[in-house]
Structure 1
Amino acid sequence: MFAATRVAVRPAVAPLSNATQARNMATLKEIQQRLKSVQNIEKITKSMKMIASTKVAKAQKAMENARAFGSSSSALFENAETKVGEDAKTLFVTASSDRGLCGGIHSSVSKATRRAMEHRSASELVILGDKPKAQLQRIFAKNIRLSFNQIGKDIPTFAEASAIVDAIKRANIEYDNAQVVYNRFNSVISYEAVSIPVYSEEAIKASPKFASYEMEDDVLEDLQEFNFANSIFWALVEGHAAEMSAKRTAMENATKNAGEMIQKLTLTYNRGRQAQITNDLIDIITGASAL
């Protein structure tokens, strides 16, 4: 009688074990697919880190050359004591790029521009790069006069900066001074959003000590345009160096995180696989004992 009861109960238990086994198989397959996906991501981020590392050295060298010309232009107006009044009409130029995967590079200059324009709602804005444009146009859509993209795919050039200044001049944008907002390169792991002042011809003429240079009006116009282009070039090149360093750091962190996730997924998969094998052995032993 007891043996008959055992035989009647066994078929009711068997489907539950098969369902559990099927569920474990599905879970292991999902973990294996995710593991392969993370491994592919790790390969991509590692390659992007290597590419960014090769570009950092070139970007830093170009940045040092641009700094030499930029600091010389700034020293001229510092010696001439060029200034503008508090009610001066200011043009803001936000300099960044079009590409992502580089940390907070773009949001850094966007936030600095927003802070600078908080009390100057009537100021006009020129944006260099698609990323800061997407962030700033939500608040300052009416202030944007010009925007540029596809700048500095490799290392920005002075020709690109000159073309930007020509476009600003053709648009007849009036200003007493301009503030070029960009990311200053501090180190391979540090950058800071700052601005470069650029003055109009009238502001330069009104400088207390500028008369000692004995400069004619047509030469002054060329000087102003050159200084504007030089400042934008300086901002773009230095921002490019900061971007490449930030991208290398971001890809290094992403590769590290992917490696940690691979370790966790591998451990989970191995444990699940071991549990499945153990259950299979238990089913085999139980079935053999029932015979």
Structure 2
Amino acid sequence: MLFAVSRIVRPSAAPVSKAIQVRNMATLKEIQQRLKSIQNIEKITKSMKMIASTKVAKAQRGMKAARVFGTASSTTFTSAETKAKDDDKILFVAASSDRGLCGGIHSSISKATRRAVAENASAEVVILGDKPKAQLGRIIRNQIALTFNQIGKDMPSFEEASSIVDIIKTEGIEFDTANIIYNKFISAVSYEASIIPAYSEATFKASPNFAVYEIEDDVLANLQEFSFANGVYWAMVEGHAAEMCAKRAAMENATQNAGEIIGKLTMTYNRGRQAVITNELSKYFIFWVYVFILIFTFFLFFS
């Protein structure tokens, strides 16, 4: 077998100039252009803050409704004392979105997922959203089983969560315990990465108090799918509420920073403009002083 080896010819380095570069002060026109651009940025961030503020109330209402159903599913597993075993096959579902400009929302999910995967090296990962996919793809690429995008454009729905669970099942991804990693909404300014567990039929059947429920096998399969979809929906909705609050806070901070820069640039521009006016007035004053001296000398000479 022959291999073609190509040598990369690198261009010779350009001679380094020994001239000392002097950084000149910005002209009034450059300051004015920068001032206009930052004023436009301030308008954009202020508009985005208003849009996020209108979505926060809707997201919080949806979060409260999702918590009711999610808590009901979690109570079922808690009452049955369902727990993961040491040798269980674990699946991690990192629930985030595609959108940016929302602080450390996506980094929170990525860091929590990396910590969880470090403790379970054989676990597979399903990622919801392009942002955590870009962050996790550089580190745990070999453990990513499935990724989803087009998430976070609008309020998440139970239909989307059900479709995600159906695709996971169709792709043949098996697990004993599924840990859904999401951002738990604490307040309008705080959130933390948490886990919602979901279990397979076999794991739920092996629960100590499973016999109390008297569930038939065909109903158990539907219950398992519903619990998994319910957990994914809960994670997506609560993460969406935390994201909207974080986006509102980020845009508010960006607007304040733009306002501070505008104030500093306005002061710099006014000082520069005043210096130019003073300089021009000084030139005219000196000119007329010279003219007055010449006229006065002329009259003295001919008088």
TM-score (norm 2): 0.87
- Cα shift readout 1:150-177 (whole Å, capped 9, x = no counterpart): 1242110000000000000011111110
The aligned residue for residue 267 of structure 2 is 267
Aligned length: 269
- The answer to whether the aligner puts 1:226 opposite 2:217 as a matched pair is no
- Cα shift readout 1:60-84 (whole Å, capped 9, x = no counterpart): 0000000000000000010000012
How far apart in 2 are the matches of 1:105 and 1:26?
Answer: 37
The aligned residue for residue 133 of structure 1 is 133
How far apart in 2 are the matches of 1:141 and 1:220?
Answer: 34
The aligned residue for residue 192 of structure 1 is 192
Structure with the higher fraction of residues in helix conformation: 1
How far apart in 1 are the matches of 2:82 and 2:121?
Answer: 24
How far apart in 1 are the matches of 2:274 and 2:205?
Answer: 82
Q: Percent identity?
A: 68
Gaps of 5+ in 2: 1-22, 292-303
How far apart in 1 are the matches of 2:209 and 2:78?
Answer: 10
> Contact between 1:151 and 1:160, CA under 8 Å: does it hold in 2?
no
Look up the SS of the partner of 1:142 in the other structure: helix
How far apart in 1 are the matches of 2:201 and 2:47?
Answer: 48
The aligned residue for residue 280 of structure 1 is 280
1:62-211 aligned at under 5 Å gives the runs 62-211=62-211
How far apart in 2 are the matches of 1:281 and 1:199?
Answer: 82
CA drift of 1:44 comes to 0.4
Question: Residues 201 and 24 of structure 1: is their aligned pair in 2 closer, same or farther, counting only changes over 3 Å?
Answer: closer
The aligned residue for residue 17 of structure 1 is none
How far apart in 1 are the matches of 2:84 and 2:26?
Answer: 70
> Contact between 1:24 and 1:276, CA under 8 Å: does it hold in 2?
no
CA drift of 1:212 comes to 1.4
> Contact between 2:99 and 2:152, CA under 8 Å: does it hold in 1?
no
Aligned partner letter, 1:255: T
The aligned residue for residue 248 of structure 2 is 248
TM-score (norm 1): 0.90
How far apart in 1 are the matches of 2:209 and 2:26?
Answer: 80
The Cα RMSD (Å) is 1.4
Look up the SS of the partner of 2:88 in the other structure: coil
Question: Residues 237 and 262 of structure 1: is their aligned pair in 2 closer, same or farther, counting only changes over 3 Å?
Answer: same
How far apart in 1 are the matches of 2:274 and 2:111?
Answer: 52
CA drift of 1:216 comes to 1.0
Look up the SS of the partner of 1:122 in the other structure: coil
Look up the SS of the partner of 1:274 in the other structure: helix
CA drift of 1:120 comes to 1.4
Aligned partner letter, 2:198: V
Look up the SS of the partner of 1:185 in the other structure: strand
How far apart in 1 are the matches of 2:82 and 2:199?
Answer: 8
Look up the SS of the partner of 1:138 in the other structure: coil
How far apart in 2 are the matches of 1:290 and 1:39?
Answer: 45
The aligned residue for residue 298 of structure 2 is none
Runs (4+) off by over 6 Å: 23-26
The aligned residue for residue 27 of structure 1 is 27
The aligned residue for residue 19 of structure 2 is none
Look up the SS of the partner of 1:183 in the other structure: strand
How far apart in 2 are the matches of 1:232 and 1:206?
Answer: 23
How far apart in 1 are the matches of 2:172 and 2:44?
Answer: 45
Aligned partner letter, 1:31: I
